[in-house]
Structure 1
Amino acid sequence: MDFGSENETRGFVSGMDELDAAVKMMTAMLNRFNKAEIYIGVGKDGKILDREFSEEDVSKVSERMGELINHMPQTAVSLERTEDGKGYIRISATGFETPYSFGSWFYVRRYRYVDRGGSKSVEWVENLTCGMKRHRSFSPVKRIILYSDTGTL
């Protein structure tokens, strides 16, 4: 089975060790396109890898999403199998109450062109947009005040 390539609302991660990246990707898709399909156990080429998954892994995915996302979108997490028995986890999400944060940070999904050996291809990335409370401590106004107090301006 081949899922094709990644796009604005479809993303692939190779295994459970990339679970945080999958959740981050999901919030970025929701913030920009209001829907997301994440496949765990699928390579970047869209082909299913030969990984073992269990219902316990499905529970871990749901728990981790609850820990990392500020308010949960509508999600469905399921363990799927192909005809030849290869397993993967599918996360399907929709959400219109944006923004969705990943660990108090907000991301959006965008693409960029990458030159790979003379041919350009599209690569999908999650870009940081704002960190809310966290960015206040590093604001330019505070930096200017701090530097002017020390006489280094």
Structure 2
Amino acid sequence: MASRSSGESAGARRPWVVLLYFYLAALIGLGFLIAGTTTTLFGVKDLAFPQLGISSYSYDSALRRDGQGNVISTDSERAAARQSAIEDRRRDGLDSVVNGLILAAVGTPTLVWHLRRARRVGVGPAAPAAPGGGDRSD
């Protein structure tokens, strides 16, 4: 009955576990990269065009109302409330850009490093070089 040699490393006996770890970590890094990219893009949209998502109901709640709930604010109060909502949207857009860049900055090296390690482990030990110079095609 043949048994495994005592000199065989645990990495050689279970390469699939190591590969699974590296590819899962790379997949998580890819998720961070995708989330960071989309968060950054939505933040850039809000930063450049803050008025696109602003409706009257988003800033009407801060305006004065009468006893029946009808808005009784002047046009200048409405304009000031709208401008305040646009500034808030622009500030939120900048916050989203920063958060997205942080996510992408974490995800990119995580993806690259773990993917490179998985490819190195998947290749296994390198074959000895052939005498005479290798694979030159000249």
**What is the TM-score normalised by the length of structure 1?**
0.26
**What is the TM-score normalised by the length of structure 2?**
0.28
Q: Which has more radius of gyration?
A: 2
Q: Which has the higher contact order (CA 8 A, sep 6+)?
A: 2
Which is richer in helix? 2
Which is richer in strand? 1
